[in-house]
A and B are shown apart, each in its own frame.
Chain A
Amino acid sequence: MDSKKLLIWGGIAVVALAALFLIMRPAGGGAGAENVSASRAAELAAAGVRVIDVRTPGEFETSHVPGAENVPMDALSTEAAGWDPAEPLLIYCATGARSAQAVQYLEAQGFETIYHLDAGLVAWEGELEKGTQVAPMPPDAVPAGTPVMYEFFTDW
């Protein structure tokens, strides 16, 4: 009889521990930061989550998520020093590389809720606010007799 009781109580203990583990397990795979899809990011932006675009001012001006603030990587530490760490943030860049560094930095600074559009703006499916001065072919860009490869890059 005693061994039966022991088995029952042992079983209950195992189930309770498993339930506790499932409840306590952190959601989203990271403390404070969660990678989100473009559709989830759009929902968050629509719900009023503060959206931070860490690309360069030139990229930002061309197009960006509606309502986003432009905080280029080199200005992030200065700007973020004045932010409330409890305020949820949605971070993005073009392809997710720069924003991953931004997320890492913000996590280290104690920001509690960070949503990261890890696929970048290239994955964005919604409308974008566009710049106003986009021309199809800049006159300065026309080659002088030889083919040309342009590269626009940053050090980040």
Chain B
Amino acid sequence: MKPVVDRLKQDYEGTVEFRLYDVDRSQEGQELMRQFGAQYVPTFVFLNSDGTEVDRVVGESSEEDMRAILDSLK
């Protein structure tokens, strides 16, 4: 997924903030993951600017689907 995420980061820079956590290395990431109730890696959680969760993707996903979710964020 890394190449896909890298492309998305580039294309959505300035409109969406990307917070990426390697949960093997990041204590903060593990803590956030637990607080989100996320059970699997990779898990993607999409939030609107008001904090509402719009979507959650668990496992591999297509770039097209990811872009559709990112485009829907407000």
User: Are A137 and B41 in contact, CB atoms less than 8 angstroms apart?
Assistant: no
Taking Cβ atoms with an 8 Å cutoff, the residues of A that contact B are 55-59, 61-63, 72, 74, 94-95, 120-122, 131, 133-138, 140-156
Chain B interface residue count, Cβ-Cβ cutoff 8 angstroms: 45
Taking Cβ atoms with an 8 Å cutoff, the residues of B that contact A are 1, 5, 8, 12, 15-24, 29-51, 53-54, 58-60, 70, 73-74
User: Are B48 and A138 in contact, CB atoms less than 8 angstroms apart?
Assistant: no
Count: A-B pairs, CB below 8 Å: 153
Closest B residue by C-beta to A120: B40
User: Are A56 and B36 in contact, CB atoms less than 8 angstroms apart?
Assistant: no
User: Are B42 and A143 in contact, CB atoms less than 8 angstroms apart?
Assistant: no
User: Are B37 and A151 in contact, CB atoms less than 8 angstroms apart?
Assistant: no
Given A133-B34, A155-B24, residue A59 in contact with residue B17 (CB < 8 A): no
C-alpha spacing A142/B42, complex, angstroms: 20
Residues from chain B with Cβ under 8 Å of A135 in the complex: 35, 37
User: Are B19 and A151 in contact, CB atoms less than 8 angstroms apart?
Assistant: yes
Give 22 pairs: A residue, B residue, CB < 8 Å, sorted on A: A58-B33, A58-B34, A59-B40, A62-B39, A131-B34, A134-B35, A140-B35, A141-B35, A147-B17, A147-B48, A148-B16, A148-B17, A150-B19, A150-B45, A150-B46, A151-B20, A152-B33, A153-B20, A153-B21, A153-B23, A154-B22, A154-B23
User: Are B17 and A146 in contact, CB atoms less than 8 angstroms apart?
Assistant: yes
Closest B residue by C-beta to A145: B49
User: Are B32 and A141 in contact, CB atoms less than 8 angstroms apart?
Assistant: yes
Distance in Å: Cβ of A23 to nearest Cβ of chain B: 40
User: Are A94 and B41 in contact, CB atoms less than 8 angstroms apart?
Assistant: yes
Residues from chain A with Cβ under 8 Å of B42 in the complex: 151-154
